[in-house]
């Protein structure tokens, strides 16, 4: 499944962050047995994008020294081994949610939207943000190119700015395409956001059902 067609990538990024924070908060305050319900559902939830598992496991391997250090400190400060295990699993869950956010979100998803539904200020802000981010690499490349042919720093800056102004129309077209979004994607995002809500609703229901 490609990034474009992945329902997780179509979810509203702001809502995705909000739901993920709620999920992490709930997971940090509930008992460990109920946390396992949340963790298990989160694992199953990501099955629609298997690449998340791969990146998650690779990241776990990279931070293995951190867990080793954690257990060494636990031994030194006589922290119960079971408590260390509980903390480790919660960290692993936090890492899974973090990978989900990073892998299924992009800058384009944050700035895209429907102009008719955005306020004028919000639309202009997104346009400015997108234009700035696209303009900076152009300026950097022009600056590097001009440094090779000019020794005077003032000349380098002036010529770089002149070269960048020639690219403004290209940047504008690119940003308009990034900020704009079609109706088909809006409809897909609606169902993707419904699916997003399940990330919190289902575990919470299980917790209440099994509440003692």
If you ran DSSP here, which 8-state letter would residue 121 be given?
Answer: H
- Per DSSP, the residues of 31-84 read -HHHHHHHHHHHHHHGGGSTHHHHHHHHHHHHTHHHHHHHHHHHHHTT--HHHH
Name, in order, each residue with C-beta under 8 angstroms of 203's C-beta and a sequence gap of 6 or more.
Answer: 23, 26, 37, 38, 41, 42
Name, in order, each residue with C-beta under 8 angstroms of 35's C-beta and a sequence gap of 6 or more.
Answer: 27, 89, 90, 93
Q: Are 100 and 37 in contact (CB under 8 A)?
A: no
Beta strands in the chain (DSSP E): none
Q: What is the pLDDT along the chain (212 residues), one digit of tens a residue?
A: 444 457 888 888 878 888 999 998 888 888 888 899 899 999 999 999 999 999 999 999 999 999 999 899 888 888 898 889 999 999 999 999 999 988 887 656 555 655 555 566 666 666 666 666 666 777 788 778 877 777 777 777 777 777 777 776 776 676 666 655 444 455 557 888 888 999 988 888 877 776 65
Burial, 23: exposed, middle or buried (Cβ in 10 Å; 0-12, 13-18, 19+)?
A: buried
What confidence tens digit (pLDDT) does each residue in 124-166 have?
666 666 666 666 777 788 778 877 777 777 777 777 777 777 7
């Amino acid at each position: 499944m490609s990034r474009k067609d992945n329902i997780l990538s179509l979810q509203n990024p702001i809502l995705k962050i909000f739901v993920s924070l709620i999920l992490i908060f709930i997971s940090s305050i509930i008992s460990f047995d109920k946390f396992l319900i949340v963790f298990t559902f989160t694992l199953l939830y990501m099955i629609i994008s298997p690449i998340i598992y791969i990146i998650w496991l690779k990241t776990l391997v990279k931070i293995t020294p951190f867990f080793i250090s954690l257990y060494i400190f636990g031994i030194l400060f006589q922290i119960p081994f079971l408590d260390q295990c509980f903390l480790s699993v919660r960290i692993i869950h936090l890492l899974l949610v973090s990978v989900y956010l990073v892998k299924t979100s992009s800058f384009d998803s944050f700035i895209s939207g429907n102009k008719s539904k955005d306020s004028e200020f919000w639309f202009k802000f997104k346009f400015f943000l997108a234009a700035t981010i696209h303009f900076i690499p152009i300026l950097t490349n022009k600056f590097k190119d001009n440094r090779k042919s000019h020794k005077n720093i003032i000349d380098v800056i002036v010529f770089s700015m002149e070269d960048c102004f020639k690219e403004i129309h290209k940047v504008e077209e690119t940003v308009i395409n990034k900020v704009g979004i079609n109706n088909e994607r809006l409809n897909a995002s609606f169902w993707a956001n419904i699916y997003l809500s399940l990330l919190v609703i289902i575990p919470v229901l299980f917790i209440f059902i099994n509440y003692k």
